Structure 1
């Protein structure tokens, strides 16, 4: 017989199944008010500015009053993330076929990160376990419900989308912060970075990167994140088509083996060591290449100076 796990207090609060405090401040107080105040602080000054003392001061209470409702900062952060994340829109759930729905969910997730960039600083602690995070997962899986993919394959596709949204959010939120701090427009930052790269990156040391710079790749206004997601979903579409036609590609052998199961195999350990040694040799070779290129530039500069 299985028993239900004991829920951590923060998760229980998120699902509305936690016991209410027996006593509270004389004036009206609730978990919702505490979370809203904490989100306001994080939106203004970042996640590091959030503390029980800061939230209490914003609400006009003592920190001990808050602990009757939210007993730990970790629980408060979980509830803040739940509040900021919200629910996927009805529009994204009915945006069209599986691909259009996933793309709509991706765009909405990116916007969440731009509105609340501090969410990206919240540590990932296993599978999302709150109502709103479950709703986002459900929306993604529902988009794939009519495909011939297995449930674990649908989860894998969902990870592609959420991973792309998170990485896009990290970069875009960082640039938004740069724009505010420097008082520069996005195009001005791109021009500054392009000019900096042109002054530092040489064709001798970094030929492929220099070629991209000369081609204007860093001034291109297209969305590289959307491009990456589109190409990933192209692959998913091809896979779905193959499965529908009875041509499910076999999984590679290493996808069926857990490393822990073969960690004691001598040849496997030797192969792992070989990979590590090769990676180290490659790093050393790159360092040597950079050093020789630097020395060559210095020699050329001395030669020009002596002429």
Structure 2
């Protein structure tokens, strides 16, 4: 099929997730359902890992034959998709106080990380593209809603959403590995970290790996410091600075663009002095106006005010993070 042709029928797994797939007319005493099959498969994954999930294993748990399941879920890939949809669930609702975009993205990050800790088998799911299912779509929609009032383009909002999702998935992957090692060895997470530090200590010398040696001596492998949240915070710092910068640039382009100037000229209005741009950008503007000393001073004052505002917002973000840390320590 040509990729440009419209899709007349959804793939079976996606149709099941959206509840628009036809229900089989025949089944074992009509006691079987897609929901029961998915629940049984998730129970197996929780107890034994994703590798233990098969149509025959699910059928055995439910007390039916594998062929009975195929009337409801026609392929294992469809079952995996439905398992992912069920385990992912819906994102937390946005609070009534309508938090700013950064706070909301941090909430979504923490919620995703919690899911991966509880359902680590999700990380073993094959990635075959974007999961076009209701719950997965709701998570992306929540991130895009958080960024909807920013100056980012739609492409940039999706990219920012993937930054958060990727950070949560990476943290979940590492923690899942530690959990698996802990179960196999009988060690706690702290004991796994201590064992790891001891192994590094045994083989890393100051002569061969001086900088890693310093990190080991500083206790980085047993520290309470969260490198994943640190990385996300720095990414969001950069995103905040970018939003602020392009917001000013794009607002200026919107106000001062050729279309706006033509519209003002057609209406016979005088141009707003606050929207006049730098000489290198304005083309046919009156050079006498540009040379006016008071006008140039006004432009300089605006730029200085913008810098002050940017610094104030940066301090606001820093104090917010510090307040959250103090609250967490008190808890």
TM-score normalised per structure 2: 0.72
CA contact (8 A) 1:92 1:104 kept: no
| 1:90 Cα offset (Å) | 1.2
* Number of residue pairs the alignment of both structures matches: 248
Match of 2:149, SS state, is coil
| 1:179 Cα offset (Å) | 2.2
1:148 aligns with 2:126: no
Q: Give the equivalent residue in structure 1 for 2:274.
A: none
Match of 1:225 among 221, 224, 228: 228
Q: Give the equivalent residue in structure 1 for 2:142.
A: 139
Q: Give the equivalent residue in structure 2 for 1:200.
A: 203
Match of 2:171 among 154, 168, 172: 168
CA contact (8 A) 1:194 1:213 kept: yes
18-27 vs 90-99, which moves further = 90-99
TM-score normalised per structure 1: 0.77
Any runs of at least 4 consecutive aligned residues in structure 1 with deviations exceeding 3 A, and if so which? 1-5, 91-95
1:126 aligns with 2:129: yes
Q: 1:220 to 1:131 in 2, by over 3 A?
A: same
CA contact (8 A) 1:95 1:104 kept: no
Match of 1:90, SS state, is coil
Q: Give the equivalent residue in structure 1 for 2:317.
A: none
CA contact (8 A) 2:151 2:250 kept: no
Q: Give the equivalent residue in structure 2 for 1:19.
A: 22
- Distance in 2, matches of 1:22 and 1:73, equals 21
| 1:181 Cα offset (Å) | 2.3
Q: Give the equivalent residue in structure 2 for 1:178.
A: 181
CA contact (8 A) 1:94 1:101 kept: no
Q: Give the equivalent residue in structure 1 for 2:318.
A: none
- Distance in 2, matches of 1:148 and 1:78, equals 34
Structure 2: unaligned runs, 5 residues or longer? 252-331
Kindly name which structure, 1 or 2, has the bigger radius of gyration based on alpha carbons: 2
Superposed CA offset, 1:248-289 (max 9, x none): 9xxxxxxxxxxxxxxxxxxxxxxxxxxxxxxxxxxxxxxxxx
Q: 1:92 to 1:116 in 2, by over 3 A?
A: farther
147-156 vs 85-94, which moves further = 85-94
| 1:32 Cα offset (Å) | 0.4
- RMSD of aligned Cα (Å): 1.8
- Distance in 2, matches of 1:39 and 1:92, equals 30
Q: Give the equivalent residue in structure 2 for 1:90.
A: 93
| 1:27 Cα offset (Å) | 4.7
CA contact (8 A) 1:141 1:155 kept: yes
Give 1:1-307 correspondences, 5 Å limit: 3-91=6-94, 96-246=99-249
